[in-house]
Each structure stands twice: as structure tokens, then as C-alpha cells.
Structure 1
């Protein structure tokens, strides 16, 4: 498979993964009425870890010592972002949390430029601005954005998500992608479990909730982490971030189709703007928008 076809496949994988993420929002909202977010994370990620390990039992053995260390760092980053986003969500509106989390689209090229010394083209910045504008339309409610404790914690989460994207883009390679995904999931599981244990872990008490958790563990957990790790071995970090900014678009689609929400002009225009941003980075001239990234040792 040539480089162009591989990049297109990686884009499709990222979109599928982002759709999985988007499909979980209304499920998480429903689950949160009965199970705390940390308890949910402490159950979800171990299931995802075991599932991926059973599917790829030899993947860990193919990892080099350096890749294991890098995967641990990436897992800690992702887990930290998940926990901070969850804590922040308890102190701010879900719509505001969604917008601030989406700021990783802006943080990613900035961090890539500083840490990896990549050159970000003007057209890419245009796409970043379009994506943020679309996310704002999709998530922010009338009344604007008030910035307090919850918003500050969520902004730190967005910055850490961007670090994870940049690090994955620098360190991931196709041959070790599954092994790195398993290590990341295992580290995320450990961090979330330690965060939930002090207050005790509440397990679902009905089959419907377990079905939701298993779906999110396998689809938005195991598949998503494996897909993101593999896809980012073939795509620059900023391009990956813009593609993943489709998450609130998919969240809105599933909320309308399965969550009972109404399709409004604001949702439609925001979704089209984010989609247009993705098209900009996908259809721009096939040239090096970002400089070649060298792997960083940890």
C-alpha cells in the first residue's frame, strides 16, 4: 500500500474512532445518573485492556523497551486528561466542557511547533480556526463562556490531550501500534482505578448499563485506542487533531438520532463548519504541511 492510500485509510480509521467517541455522549449522560464518572472509567478501561490483549496476545512481546516507556508516558497523559475532564465537568456545563476540551485542536499545532519543531502552514491554521468555530456553535449555549475553576481544570485537560496527540504522532509506529495501545490502556486502567478506589467502586446493577459499558469499553476504548495509535503513525499530529474535532459533530448526530434531541440550525451550521475544516486538511495540495517528525526518546 502506497503512502497516499495508507494516509487515506488512517483518516478513515480516525473518523470511525471519532464516531465511536461521539456515540458515547448520550450513553455517558444516562449512566452518570446511576454511576459516578470515575467508577465508570475504572470499569471501562480494564475491560478494554483485556479485550485488546486477547485479540493481540503477542503484541506486547514485539515492543522495544523504549516503546514501552513511551507508551507508559502516553497512558499517564491520557488518563490524567480523562480524570481532569471528569472533575471539570462536575463544575461546569457539559456544553462548555465540550468546547474547552475541543481547544486541543489549537493546542496541538502549537505544541507540535514548539516540541517537534514542525512548520504549520497557513491553510492548516485556517482549518484549525474553522474547527474551533464549528465546535463553538455545536457546544456553547447562549450566554457566552464564564471562566472559573471547572473551566480551568478542563483547559488543562485539553492541553494534556494535545500533548498525547503530539506524543503519539512522534512515537507511534505501525509495527508496534497494538502493543503500545495495550500498554496505554493498562496504564489508564491503573490510574482510573486508583482514583476511584478511595470512595469505593459502584458497579452497574442491571444488564442495560453493563451493555452500555461493554460497548464503550470495546468500541470507544479498545478499538479507539488501537485505531488512534495506528493511524497517528501515518498522519501528522495537527491533521489528526482536526480530523478528531469531528467528535462533537458525531455526538450531535447521535444525540438527534438516538438521544431525542432536535436538529437546529446551530447544530447543522456548526457541524458543517467542522466538516469543512476536515475537508480543508484532506483536500489541500499533497505536500509536506508539517516537517518530518523525528522520534523522541524517553
Structure 2
């Protein structure tokens, strides 16, 4: 493994850990403020936390082509910001009625959705993707569907969140190779923040005292989950091998379950844990290509 791949893998693992524990912060924060208020403030914080870096690197950036592409990166950030707004809104509202660990595992299905969506971009979908998707769906059944064949409203919202996060990942894969990553992240965050705050003003009661009481979860969600983690995702996806990146990002679900257990005293039933295990297996199988498995076996034989 060369240094570039190792660096990207480490960045993605850090991203997964930050996002996983962010589910805990998101649940705690909603004890004091509404879902859209929480998202509006935290994405705003995330956007402004990037300004010093943007200014610093602008002084060093001598690439005139990047400077000329301001309109393009603005429009790309606006579009991805709209998708992030939909994804984070579904996720945040869904968290009201479910546990942090369960929400994270359902959201993690974006790993399965990404290759399936790739069909519409004329990308080849291997047998492993279909097998992984099937296993993940079975896992989702054990995790979410009760004995009376009922899926809760919150679980459906988290599933919708997974769909929109999959769209965002595909867009970032395209745009991060064309534009300045910090600027792309900034416009993405500020768009999501503005849309969330507008929705909060229309449908929620925003109070200064509520925001102050939720200060710690908002600061974590804004600076770490948004400002740092989303930016690390964009930077890492620019150079990371997609298959390995997706596998590492699926660890977000595991970190969320650990955080929910340690901080919120959340427990999963044996049925739910079995479902989580199947979903995680499906996520990994969906991303590991048969050729890579064969190559790994050959390399292992060479070392013997």
C-alpha cells in the first residue's frame, strides 16, 4: 500500500468515526432544538469553519484555471448542498423515533445504493453488488421489520436519507476531481444551512436558550461532523480507490452503535444485531470485486 492510499484510508476511517459518534450528538441536540434548527446551525458552523483554510490556500493557489471556475464550483456546491439538505433532513427527523445505532445502519445502505445507481451512469454492476444488496435488504428486514411486518416511519425516513447520501457520494466523486475541494465543501454546507434555517423558521420555534443548551452537540455536529468530516470525505474521495473507500466508510454504522451504547445506553436486540451484521456484510460484499479477491489470494500465495 503506497503512502497516498494509506493516507486516504486513514482520512476515511477518521471520517467514519466522526460521523458515527455524530449520531449521538444529533440525538442529544434534539432534546433542546428542532431537527431543522440543529442542521441549520451546525452546517452554518461547518461552512464558516472552512473560511480560514480557503483564505490561506487561496494565497498559495497559483492555478488560474481553478480561479476562473468560481461559477462552476458555486453551482456544483449549490446542487450537492440541496442533496445534502434532503439527506440530512430525512436523517435528523428520523432520529427522533429511533436509536443512533439503528439509524446509522440504515443510513449505511448508501454503500449498497451507490453501485446500483451507477447503472444509470452506464457503469458495470457486478454479481457481487446484487448479492451484497440482497444480503443487506435481508439484514434491514431483521433490523427494522417487527413480527407484525411493520416498518416504522422513522426507519423509512432513514432509508430515504441513505438514498440521498448515495446521490451525494456520486456527485462528490464527479465534482471533487474538477473543482477546489474546500470551495466545493463550503458552498455545499452553506446551501444546506440556508435551506435548513428557512425550513426551521417556517415550521419550528427557534429560541436562543434552546440553541445554547444544545451548544455542545451543535459544536460537535458543526465543526467535527460537517466542517472536518465532510471535507475529509471530499479530499479522500479525490484520491482513494472507490472500493476500499466505501468499505471503510461503512464502519460509520459500527461507530454509531458503539457511541449509542456508551453514551445513550442504547441496546439492540439479538434480532437487531443479527440484522446489523447482515447489513454490514452486504455493504462489504457489494464493494469487493471478485477480481480483487483473486488478486489478494495470488499475492498471499506468493508470500508463502
Q: TM-score range by the shorter chain?
A: 0.7 to 0.9
Which of 157, 175, 180 is the matching residue for 2:184? Answer: 180
- Between 29-38 and 229-238, the greater mean CA deviation after superposition: 229-238
Distance (whole Å) between structure 1 residues aligned to residue 268 and residue 159 of structure 2? 28
- For the pair shown, the structure with the greater C-alpha radius of gyration is 2
Q: Which residue of 2 aligns with 1:103?
A: 109
Which of 32, 35, 42 is the matching residue for 1:34? Answer: 32
Does 2:90 match 1:57?
Answer: no
CA RMSD of aligned residues (A): 3.5
Note if contact 2:27-2:95 (Cα within 8 Å) is conserved in structure 1.
no
Q: Which residue of 2 aligns with 1:221?
A: 226
Distance (whole Å) between structure 1 residues aligned to residue 227 and residue 112 of structure 2? 26
- Between 117-126 and 160-169, the greater mean CA deviation after superposition: 117-126
Mapping of residues 58-97 of structure 1, within 5 Å: 58=56, 62=66, 64=69, 65-89=71-95, 93-94=98-99
Q: 1:269 to 1:200 in 2, by over 3 A?
A: closer
Mapping of residues 1-298 of structure 1, within 5 Å: 5-58=3-56, 62=66, 64=69, 65-89=71-95, 93-94=98-99, 98=104, 100-114=106-120, 116-130=121-135, 139-140=143-144, 142-143=146-147, 146-147=150-151, 153-173=157-177, 176-198=180-202, 199-205=204-210, 209-235=214-240, 240-262=245-267, 281=287, 285-286=291-292
Aligned residues: 282
Could you report, residue by residue, the CA deviation over 1:118-137 in whole angstroms, capped at 9, with x for unpaired residues?
Answer: 11333344444555555666
Note if contact 1:39-1:203 (Cα within 8 Å) is conserved in structure 2.
no
Note if contact 1:23-1:250 (Cα within 8 Å) is conserved in structure 2.
yes
Could you report, residue by residue, the CA deviation over 1:221-265 in whole angstroms, capped at 9, with x for unpaired residues?
Answer: 111110111122234666644433322211111122233345765
Q: Gaps (5+ residues) in structure 1? A: 288-298
Q: Gaps (5+ residues) in structure 2? A: 294-304
**3-state secondary structure, aligned to 2:122:** coil
- Which has more helix, going by share of residues? 2
Q: TM-score, normalised by structure 2?
A: 0.75
